[in-house]
Amino acid sequence: MGINEEKENKQILNAYRGILRSMKSNRSKEETKDIRKAFDVAVDAHKNMRRKSGEPYILHPIAVARICSDEIGLGPTSVICALLHDTVEDTELSLDDINKLFNSNVRNIIDGLTKLSGVFDLTTSAQAENFRKMLLTIPEDIRVILIKLADRLHNMRTLGSMRDDKRLKIASETSFLYAPIAHRLGLNNIKTELEDLSFKYMNQESYNEIEKKLEKTKPVRERFIQKFCSPIKKSLDEQSINYTIKARTKAINSINRKINEKGVDFEEIFDVFAIRIIIDSKPNEEKTECWKAYSLVTDHYIPNPERLRDWISHPKQNGYESLHTTVMSPTGKWVEVQIRSKRMDEIAEKGLAAHWKYKEKSTTNSGFEQWINQVRDLIENKSSDALDFINEFKTNNLYSDEIFVFTPKGELHTLPQNATPLDFAFGIHTEIGAKCIGAKVNSKLVPLSYTLKSGDQVEILTSKNQKPKEGWLDFIVTSKARNKIRQSLKDEKKVIAEDGKEILIRKLSGLKVDFDEKNLKELLLLYKLDEHTEMYFQIAKGKLDLKKIKEIVIKGGRLKFGSITKTIKNSFEALISKVSKSTEEILIGEGSDAKLDYKLSPCCNPLPGDNVFGFVTISDGIKIHRFNCPNAKQLRANYSYRIIPAKWKADKLEYFMAGIKFIGIDDVGLLNELTSIISEQEKVNMKSLNFNSDDGIFEGEIMLYVYDKHHLENLIQKLLNIESISQVERMEQSDIS
């Protein structure tokens, strides 16, 4: 037993010295003393603990500290925290002890790590909220997340000793969450290893199969690489460029993904490896020398112009800089060549996080800083459910490929793939997104759901009358846009609900019914709703028939909803009686303060300015129809006793939806001219545009928002002036449906 202890102590000490060697000059004498103190404290705290594998537990925090210093590039404070990261949770040590032994900085990081202990079950709100807390550390101290990633990486490297079910759970969680975070933080090596290890434990058979094939083809691959690189090396030497060439085999998980996505066998994948040229150049010469190397490579091999990726001019948001090209080899195989400087390679391997200047020096204008700001916006959106937050963060903030688009003035903006003009608008400013009514991409009008591509120039069209719409949620992809739209809809609903509440209070007062909680509960039962705000909202929108309240009034200002004994017929007859006794016209439109409730009939979509009349329906109150409504003749002839005079009163301008259809000759630029008149000249908002072309005949339908009949007629006249259009007319309901 003593011999084993001696061996273990030697193993522990060697592992500790490995940390110090990996840090080299990255520590002062005082910091070295603190690292030693942290090591001694951790050894003592964990002295009776062992891992599932049977080895001393202390080897785990030492390994995590080594990953922090060696593979991420973190400094002494992070190494100290890594050594101590499990002490507060698993041993007698408290946060106060840590504070006394070291400092408040170390204490706060340990506190953050302790809160994140254990395995996340991201299907529960509690653990999802726990993950949100982890991300809250980003704006304060990113080291919490970096140490957590190092901890996860070592756990994955030693996962073999765990039970099968535990392995699968941890591997799934790592693939779902930790690998994407490492990717976004620019920790490429760690991301790749986490993905591969996750794949290994989740798909052991496929992993082993690809691993064997890679091993089997290794000698052939190495001979090919040597032959391929030979002329490139010669040219680089002739130009006196200081360089290193590496061959990188693609990760097993990445190969498997290609096999599944493209439906091909292992043997058919051409880019199992990539050649990396790393140039040792001065900072001001990096770009020039990288492009010079590219020129030399393409002197020997023909490049695929569609596979050139210039992340030197426009780095990725996680700070990645590199020049990628795919060239044709003499044997007919495509080969990916990556060209970058030594500095770029260090950032690509260890991430911007490794060079993060805590507090004092912030990489303010970096893509990494932009990403942190996006995360901060997402976290601070208190209205989102924690599980929604996880999905939003995972889907939109981590693995999304990026596109680059420009403003009309040429400013560059980065967006995730499949982003729309609406995402772009919200990305510029929340107000611009909220007021967005349309967009021009490369000077052409496009729908808000249009999918942007890299290189697009985007101009946003706004209107002060515009408000976010629920339908926008169907096609936006960025978390910022989604959260702002949801919040705006929620806020707007509250404002509208207040109006509904006022309407209900007045209605109950007129019926001499108390506005109290008991009566409100009866109303919720009556209208089959769950909560007050929704009821007020529907009242304000005219979706609830308030006449029904009269039917459940009992004595003493009370409401009682049981079986409603009074029939719809009684309500209908009461309304007919009221209408017949009235000698006044019903005033309709905003600001009319109508004494009788009414609805605009969908069969003819009346607009201010149309000659209209009211018609008393059996179950839906008074409906307003146009005089020339397709149904007007029948209504007047058969039910004259149910007709009530009506006229418009519009003190304020209000939008109404109307439809027009047109026919013309299919001419180049017709659609552009048509939409230009509607949107730019007449400033009319379009809801939808449908058209088709058949043998030179161009037919279309447009749903739009207008103020009144004259507004619509003026627009129709303008459209008739287009030479190619022969017919424009207002749509009836039969046309719309």
Model pLDDT for residues 702-719, shown as the tens digit of each residue: 888 877 778 888 888 888
pLDDT level of residue 394 (50, 70, 90 thresholds): low
Bridge partners (DSSP) of residue 614 are 624, 644
Q: Name the residue with higher pLDDT: 493 or 353.
A: 493
Is 50 exceeded by the pLDDT of residue 621?
yes
Three-state DSSP class for residue 303: strand
- What pLDDT is attached to residue 383? 47
What is the rounded average pLDDT for all residues in the chain?
79
Q: How far, in Å, CA of 315 to CA of 444, rounded?
A: 28
- Report which of 249, 245, 242, 250 is spatially closest to residue 231, judged by C-alpha positions: 245
Select the highest-mean-pLDDT range: 238-247, 386-395, 580-589: 238-247
In one-letter notation, the amino acid at residue 319 is G
DSSP sequence for 663-693: EEE--TTHHHHHHHIIIIIS-PEEEEEEEEE
Rounded to the nearest 5 degrees, what angle is found at the Cα of 127, between the Cα atoms of 124 and 131? 130
Q: How far, in Å, CA of 615 to CA of 627, rounded?
A: 11
Instruction: State the CB neighbour count (10 A cutoff) for residue 204.
Output: 11
- What pLDDT is attached to residue 137? 52
Rounded to the nearest 5 degrees, what angle is found at the Cα of 151, between the Cα atoms of 479 and 31? 110
Residue entry with tokens 């507060």: 88
Residue entry with tokens 């017929």: 569
- What pLDDT is attached to residue 567? 42
Comparing 215-219, 268-272, 372-376, 600-604, the range with the smallest average pLDDT is: 372-376
Q: Name the residue with higher pLDDT: 420 or 593.
A: 420
Strand ranges, E, within 288-423: 302-303, 309-310, 323-328, 334-341, 402-406, 412-416
Task: Work out the average pLDDT over 426-440.
Answer: 88
Is 80 exceeded by the pLDDT of residue 566?
no
Residue entry with tokens 């545009």: 689
Name the helix (H) or strand (E) containing 702.
Answer: strand 697-706
Q: How far, in Å, CA of 74 to CA of 451, rounded?
A: 40
Is 80 exceeded by the pLDDT of residue 355?
no
- Has this prediction a pTM greater than 0.75? no
Task: Work out the average pLDDT over 527-547.
Answer: 85
% of the chain with per-residue pLDDT over 90: 11
- Report which of 202, 198, 193 is spatially closest to residue 174, judged by C-alpha positions: 198
Is 90 exceeded by the pLDDT of residue 351?
no
Comparing 157-171, 379-393, 542-556, 712-726, the range with the smallest average pLDDT is: 379-393
Q: What is the CA radius of gyration of the chain?
A: 35
Whether 369 and 383 have beta carbons less than 8 Å apart is answered as no
Whether 636 and 673 have beta carbons less than 8 Å apart is answered as no
Tell me, what DSSP letter sits at residue 732?
A: P
Is 70 exceeded by the pLDDT of residue 358?
no
- What pLDDT is attached to residue 176? 75
Please, what are the domains in the chain?
2-204 (1.10.3210.10), 207-355 (3.30.460.10), 367-488 (3.10.20.30), 514-648 (no CATH), 656-736 (3.30.70.260)
Provide the token pair at 200: 């290994």
Is 50 exceeded by the pLDDT of residue 631?
yes
Provide the token pair at 160: 């073999």
Order across the sheet with 436-441: list the strands: 444-446, 436-441, 458-462
Residue 730: burial class (beta carbons within 10 Å; 0-12, 13-18, 19+): middle
Catalogue the active-site residues. 89-90
Three-state DSSP class for residue 124: coil
Q: Name the residue with higher pLDDT: 149 or 53.
A: 149
- What pLDDT is attached to residue 647? 82
Instruction: State the CB neighbour count (10 A cutoff) for residue 654.
Output: 13
Select the highest-mean-pLDDT range: 388-392, 497-501, 602-606: 497-501
- What pLDDT is attached to residue 364? 41
- What pLDDT is attached to residue 362? 39
pLDDT in tens, 74-101: 888 889 999 988 888 888 888 888 888 8
Q: How far, in Å, CA of 490 to CA of 484, rounded?
A: 10
Q: How far, in Å, CA of 592 to CA of 586, rounded?
A: 9
CA 197, distance to chain mean position in Å, is 27
Tell me, what DSSP letter sits at residue 26?
A: S
